[in-house]
Structure formats: C-alpha cells, structure tokens
Amino acid sequence: MSNNELESLIGKILRIDIKELGIPLYGRLIEVTPYWIDIERKDGRHRIISKGRITGIEPVRDQSC
C-alpha cells in the first residue's frame, strides 16, 4: 500500500499480517511514515511495524472496538 492509501486509514482498526508471525495483529492506525507504521493495541500499548515486514493490511468490519 502507498502512503496515501495508508493515511486514509488513520484512526481505523486494522488487521495486519506480518511475515514473521503466524497470526495477524490488530490495532488502530496512529501514524504513517515512509518506512513504518504505528498502531495502538486494544490495551493501549503502541507497536511500530516496518512496512517491509507487512504482507497484508485491511480495515476490520466492526470499527466500534
């Protein structure tokens, strides 16, 4: 995804597939930079993810969490 596509998802809850993990990560997209994204997990922790490690990303249906 390009930066413009990701920036349109800021504030939305996303499902993110990462190369090294067998299960997806879920979190609210907080920030997009040229090399990484920052998500906020449900428990309030932030996670920075390198764009190079992301294999898939999509918004979840239920955005009310």
Residues with Cβ within 8 Å of residue 14, at least 6 apart in sequence: 26, 27, 28, 29, 39, 57, 58, 59, 60
The number of distinct structural domains making up the chain is 1
CA–CA distances in Å: residue 36 to residues 31, 33, 42, 53, 61: 9, 5, 20, 9, 24
CATH number at residue 18: 2.30.30.100
pLDDT one digit per residue (tens) for the chain, 65 residues: 677 788 888 999 999 999 988 899 999 999 999 999 999 999 999 999 999 999 999 999 877 65
Residue 65 domain flag: no
Alpha carbon distance 49, 65 (integer Å): 21
Q: Which domain holds residue 51?
A: 3-59
